Amino acid sequence: MPQKKVGILTAGGDCPGLNAAIRGFGKAAIREHGMELIGFQDGVRGLAEGRHIPLDGRALSGILTVGGTILGTSRDKVDRMVVDGETRDMVPTIVENYERLELDALVTLGGGGTARNAYKLAKAGLNVVHLPKTIDNDIVGTDDSFGFSTALEIATEAIDRLHSTAHSHHRIILAEIMGHRAGWLALGSGIAGGADIILLPEVPYQLDAIVNAVERRRKEGLNFSVIAVAEGARNQTDAMALAGAQALSDEASSPATKAAAKKAKQDLERSMRDNTLKLATQLEDATGLESRVTILGYVQRGGTPCAHDRLLATRLGAKGAQLVDDGEFGIMVAAQGTETGTVPLKEVGGKVKYVPLDHPWVDAARAVGTSLGDV
């Protein structure tokens, strides 16, 4: 049987565990299944431009604990890629490169946006397998994505450290945590770090409810509060405005009106980027307590992956190699309980796994007295 040749790429935001997944897939593909492996540089752009490097046992050695991705990454869309200042559909070019390189399969590592790219390539006839990564843990169909656990530990440690300053100076400390659409990271780290208030994109907040939570603590002799804020958390008024802008975009009938509605929504979102800073000022005015903001930002994406992410990445990567060898394509490898399953790409791409309002983490937070900023 001829040796299978497989291409692999990483796309979207970087995160801990990407190199572990490259290694997990690559070592299993080479050692267990006798495949030849090449890596495309800088995500789907490298795939479109034909930039690749060989990945053998030596290249895969020593990368398990390394953060980021040895292949580089980008956020390009396969059907709307800017090339020489012009937006072009690069799917035909990618298909040509795939065939020219005589690939038997393509493995993509990324989040929901990369899964959407993967699905478009699968519909164009490529044999594609996707591995889920994101620190936001917002990919549908999988219980877990590599990168999340490491980011969760980083955010939790940050909240731990902010407690001492909040307590010593009798301050309100707001820790802004990544999570533009889904609040898994803020919710998990907020609970684990003992935040007094947690604000999520899924639960539009009311300023009065947050102030009441701070004042309740003050009556109990606790003149400080720590608030975990997902970057996508919004008050009820702003949340309604964003929902309205999204509805206009969804209802737009022509390309021109749809583009205008999309731009209006993007402009509205940009106007809310300093939301956490504004909230800090509002809380200081309402309570008289000094309020400070710490924005964790890209610190949450960096550094060595934790043991859980290394295990998960290796497990999903090895399963991906088995699926390629079995000829199963158009799917995402998924962590489903203690099992490793698969989900069709058409059910994954572009969708978001939001925090359910009846999730056990939400129930636990409320049970221990944590406010979610709602009434």
Choose the catalytic residue: 136, 196, 238, 309. 136
Residues 6+ apart with CB under 8 A from 102: 5
Give me the count of residues in the chain: 375
Largest CA-CA distance found in the chain, in angstroms, rounded: 75
Four-residue CA torsion sign, 132, 137, 140, 143: positive
Four-residue CA torsion sign, 59, 64, 67, 73: positive
Look at the block and give the residue holding tokens 């164009």: 124
Cα 242 to the center of its chain, rounded Å: 21
DSSP secondary structure of 291-341: EEEEE-GGGGG-SPPPHHHHHHHHHHHHHHHHHHHHT--SEEEEEETTEEE
Q: What is the dihedral of CA 324, 330, 335, 337, to 10 degrees?
A: -110
Look at the block and give the residue holding tokens 């979610």: 372
Look at the block and give the residue holding tokens 């309100």: 172
How far, in Å, CA of 186 to CA of 261, rounded? 29
Question: Is 136 among the residues known to form the active site?
Answer: yes
Tell me which residues are annotated as active site. 136
